[in-house]
Amino acid sequence: MIEQRNEEPLLEQEFTVEGGDFIHAGEVSSKIKKILKEIGASQEVVRRAAIATYEAEMNVVCYAKRGDFHLAITPERLEIVIQDEGQGIEDIDLAMKEGFSTASEEIREMGFGAGMGLPNIKKNVDDLLITSVVGEGTKVTMLILTKR
């Protein structure tokens, strides 16, 4: 369970991802990675954040109408919250299983929807919280500790 952070973030940024926009997919995670490299985050943190945010971004592109990314950086941690407007997830535990996917045939043909997105996020973050309302949207909160 994610603990509330007790420090004010040093840096906060907002990004928006449009659902279905495969052309620009990956740009937000690329921007986040760039910021982390700029602040001199360790290679490991950059790598984990890059993979986790990319998967989250692809989830928005594949399944939602739109998604708002909120990045907050404190000296100790990296917090990324993604709130999307979309179909939501019916059974979160099932969605966390490797290989489980509700992706359409079209999305699978594009090389996505292998059911590795959420498990891959989980693998790369220190804490993950997913809440979802079917028919409304999903909120993904992920946490990466920068000093371990």
Partner 1 sequence: MHCMRVCPTEAIRIREGKALILGDRCIDCGDCIRFCPEHAIRSITGSYEDLSKFKYTVAIPSPSLYAQFGMSISPNHILNGLKGLAFNEAYDTGRACEVYHTVLKEYLHNYSDSKPLISTLCPSIVRLIQIRFPDFMDNLLSLEAPRGIAGLEVKREKSKELGISSKEIGAIYITPCPAKMIAVNQPQCKSETNLDGALAISDIYGLLFSSIRKLKSMENLHRSSGLGIGLAIPGGCITDLEVENALAVDGVKDVTQVLDDLEHGKITNIKYLELWACPGGCVGGPLAVENPYLAKIKVIKLIQLFGKGKKIKDEEVDKFREYLSCDVELPPHPIKPLGRDTVDTIKKIKERDSIIESLPRIDCGACGAPTCKAFAEDVIQGRAEILDCVFKLQDKIVESSQYALSWARRTPLSFRKRGKDKSR
Taking the least distance from each CB to partner 1, the nearer of 73 and 82 is: 73
Interface with partner 1 in residues 13-72 (CB under 8 A): 26, 29-30, 33, 35, 37-41, 43, 46-47, 50-51, 53-55
CA distance 44 to 112: 25
Pick the closer one to partner 1 by CB: 13 or 87: 13
Measured in whole angstroms, the distance separating CA 133 from the mean position of its chain's CA atoms is 17
Phi/psi at 28 (5° precision): -65, -45
Question: Residue 46 or 89: which CB sits closer to partner 1?
Answer: 46
Q: Can you list the pairs that 89-93 forms with residues at least 24 positions away whose Cβ atoms lie under 8 Å?
A: 89/130, 89/132, 89/134, 89/138, 90/134, 92/130, 92/132
Helices 43-63 and 27-38, packing angle to 10 deg: 160
Binding mask 88-117 for partner 1 (x = CB under 8 A): ------------------------------
Q: 126 to each of 23, 102, 107, 110, 144, how far by Cα in Å? A: 30, 26, 29, 30, 5
- Three-state SS for 139? strand
73 is a contact residue toward partner 1 (CB under 8 A): yes
- The nearer residue to partner 1, 38 or 93, going by C-beta atoms, is 38
- Measured from the CB atom, the residue of 53 and 101 that comes closer to partner 1 is 53
In the bound complex, what is the minimum distance in angstroms from residue 87's beta carbon to partner 1? 23
Interaction site with partner 1 (CB under 8 A): 10-11, 26, 29-30, 33, 35, 37-41, 43, 46-47, 50-51, 53-55, 73, 75, 120, 146
